[in-house]
Amino acid sequence: MKAMTYRGPYRIRVEEKDIPRIEHPGDAIVRVTLAAICGSDLHLYHGLMPDTRVGMTFGHEFIGVVQEVGPDVRNLKVGDRVMVPFNIYCGTCWFCARGLYSNCHNVNPNATAVGGIYGYSHTCGGYDGGQAEFVRVPLADVGPQVIPDDIDETDALLMTDALSTGYFGAQLGDIVAGDTVVVLGAGPVGLFAAKSAWLMGAGRVIVIDQLEYRLAKAREFAHAETLNFAEYDDIVVELKKQTDYLGADVVIDAVGAEADGNLIQQVTATKLKMQGGSPVALNWAIDGVRKGGTVSVLGAYGPIFSAVKFGDAMNKGLTLRMNQAPVKRQWPRLFEHIRAGYLKPSDIVTHRIPLDDIAEGYHLFSAKLDGCIKAVVVPSAN
Amino acid sequence: MSEEDVPLAYVADKPRPGAESPDELRRRIPGWGADLDPADRPSVPRLDRDLPDTGAHWTFPARQPGGEGRERSIEHAFVTPVFGTVAPLRGLSGVVRRFAYSRFSEGRAAHWLLLVLGDRVDVAESRVEAILRGRPDRLIAETGIGAEKGVHPVASRLRSTRSDTHHTWMDPFVVSAPWIAAAVVGWRIVRRVRR
Ligand SMILES: [Zn+2]
Ligand SMILES: [Zn+2]
């Protein structure tokens, strides 16, 4: 089969690989019909995530058709069209039993601090991802779900991470009616977080980014006010001015480890890999939120320490909330919102890329060229 | 400054700047307030045992064969029952990675810095191996730079509408810097362990 294959930082190629096999009785093999490139794939692509091995296939956002099932699989059959949450989890460990599906203890031998994620380095378990023609889906009775007939397949694809994560970030913010919500980052997750903040009753939603085309999308798609941080000497001061010196009630960090904006952080973190990523966005969140407010972190950060302004968080009495989204817990409510017409996730897709051209796709997305917001990858084995 | 001009943060209550009424918001934004009640928002990860069936029909998953000798975090009691198999440890990078896993917990910077070093060694080993196998890395094509054709590669750099412009100049330095940094750290760890 054809698969996206990592060759080192900024280098990928499409290779012939063996079709994955059933390795555990609970596995399924899924023929991928659509995959996506995610902002957090860029951390891998840039060589920022420890133990990303040459030869691995990325891609934790995908949907497909069940091709084969292991002897223990009861809930799926060959031919089912499934959406697969990016979390691999067992459903029964101490953490899963309490709903922390993204923190499963039974699927990632390489680390205890993070669960299993498709195509996300050995730090997340060493599984291949879905930017390929076929993918191994472990514990297939738990994660995947048959795509409902009335749900568009691109919408289903976006629910495997970006939409579910954005909605989750708004939830972590504990938004109450009338709150001023600031979202850092106008990528897919930020756009969905902004949109979700309205559903939860936000009174004002402000999205911050530095790329005009992404801010335009935030105004049009997410009905948000926007600020381009590149136009201000100090975006935190501007935020305070705009909120009558209060600060935001809730700030959602939808940027993560590769924030631009501070050269020293950029060099030590995203370039020299001496920090778990640049915490510029997180520090803006801590500075920009009001005292007693809530910071919700969705952006991916690596396991290496980062220079976070923890003293300010303490002195301001902040609530800091964060996790990888337990994706499948979001789906029932998100289906309702999509059916009601409140959400149309596929509206953010800007590029459809054949799997053969995925190196170009990564480059476009990484450099933010050609108005790229969300790129969907189309494998050829259909 | 008259009292009405004192910003909101300095007084107990004042209308918020830019505030719209719920009715205005409802008219303008599809679904505004649909999840207004914080108690009716599913799936916030507070420890919660009243959950829908996950579909699991085991108390502990069956053990995947092949776990013997597989690297694992020493914070785990054993190799987890389910694991990925796509790139087993091999070569010099495998030695570095195995050392990182067997010696240091996730709480130690050395664990992660050694893994980063292992990544760089892996890339070098793989380049050589690819040449020996007669399928050398296509160093230019693999960057995807071909995508720039037709999307204004020059203008985008001049007008700063792309996110890589401001650090392109330092890329050559930083490609070599992680090697040097990781080698220094690795050497210090080896010395400390030997002592
Ligand atoms: Zn993702
Ligand atoms: Zn579990």
- pLDDT tens profile B6-39: 999 999 988 888 788 999 999 999 999 999 998 8
Residues B82, A74: C-beta atoms closer than 8 Å: no
Lowest mean pLDDT across A98-112, B39-53, B105-119: B39-53
| Mean pLDDT across A366-376 | 89
Residues B80, A109: C-beta atoms closer than 8 Å: yes
Chain A residues touching B32 at Cβ < 8 A: 198-199, 201
Q: Which residue of B has its CA nearest to A221?
A: B29
CA distance A125 to chain B (A): 6
The strand pair at A225-228 and A204-209 is best described as: parallel
Contacts (Cβ under 8 Å, ≥6 apart) of B194: none
Q: Which of A51, A177, A180 is nearest to A122 (CA)?
A: A51
Per-residue pLDDT, A5: 96
DSSP code, position A344: -
Radius of gyration of chain A (CA): 20
On the question of pLDDT at B177 being above 80, the answer is: no
Residues A361, B51: C-beta atoms closer than 8 Å: no
| Mean pLDDT across A39-63 | 93
Residues A171, B43: C-beta atoms closer than 8 Å: yes
Size of interface A-B (CB pairs under 8 A): 321
C-alpha of residue A100 to centroid of ligand 2, in Å: 8
CA distance A22 to chain B (A): 10
What's the pLDDT band for A261 if we cut at 50, 70, 90?
A: very low
The C-alpha atoms of residue A224 and residue B28 are separated, in whole angstroms, by: 11
For chain A, percent of residues with pLDDT exceeding 90:
82
Quote the Cα angle for A78-A83-A88, to 5°. Answer: 95
Residues B115, A50: C-beta atoms closer than 8 Å: yes
CA distance A193 to chain B (A): 13
* Other beta carbons less than 10 A from residue A364's beta carbon: 24
Per-residue pLDDT, A8: 92
Interface subset of A 148-167, CB within 8 angstroms of B: none
Which two tokens mark A150? 């009335």
On the question of pLDDT at B73 being above 50, the answer is: yes
Report yes or no: B129 at the A interface, CB cutoff 8 Å.
Answer: no
Which two tokens mark A99? 């709903």
| Mean pLDDT across A241-250 | 96
Report yes or no: A18 at the B interface, CB cutoff 8 Å.
Answer: no
Of B33, B60, B84, Cβ closest to residue A127? B84
Q: Which residue of A has its CA nearest to B108?
A: A304
Residues B86, A55: C-beta atoms closer than 8 Å: yes
Taken in order of first residue, the domains within chain A and their CATH numbers are 2-161+326-378 (3.90.180.10), 165-322 (3.40.50.720)
Per-residue pLDDT, A277: 53
What's the pLDDT band for B192 if we cut at 50, 70, 90?
A: confident
Residues A127, B59: C-beta atoms closer than 8 Å: no
Helix (H) or strand (E) holding A182: strand A180-184
Q: Which residue of B has its CA nearest to A219?
A: B29
Best-predicted range by mean pLDDT among A191-205, A248-262, B119-133?
A: A191-205
Per-residue pLDDT, B178: 57
Q: Which of A9, A46, A113, A111 is nearest to B100 (CA)?
A: A111
Lowest mean pLDDT across A91-95, A168-172, A367-371: A367-371
Per-residue pLDDT, B184: 77
Residues B87, A13: C-beta atoms closer than 8 Å: no
Report yes or no: B168 at the A interface, CB cutoff 8 Å.
Answer: no
Residues B163, A368: C-beta atoms closer than 8 Å: yes
Per-residue pLDDT, B179: 63
Report whether A315 contacts A339 (CB < 8 A): no
Report yes or no: A311 at the B interface, CB cutoff 8 Å.
Answer: no
| Mean pLDDT across A331-354 | 96
For chain B, give the mean pLDDT. Answer: 85
Three-class SS of residue A35? strand
Best-predicted range by mean pLDDT among A110-114, A366-370, B146-150?
A: A110-114
On the question of pLDDT at A356 being above 80, the answer is: yes
* ipTM rounded to 2 decimals: 0.91
Q: Which of A322, A331, A300, A333 is nearest to A63 (CA)?
A: A331
Can you spell out the DSSP letters for B16-82? PTT---HHHHHHHSTTTTTT--GGG-TT--S------------SSPPPPTT-TT----TTSSSS-SS
Residues A139, B82: C-beta atoms closer than 8 Å: yes
Of A50, A91, A128, Cβ closest to residue B112? A50
Per-residue pLDDT, A68: 98
The C-alpha atoms of residue A359 and residue A354 are separated, in whole angstroms, by: 10
Per DSSP, chain B holds a count of helices (H) and strands (E) of 6, 0
Q: Which residue of B has its CA nearest to A95?
A: B47
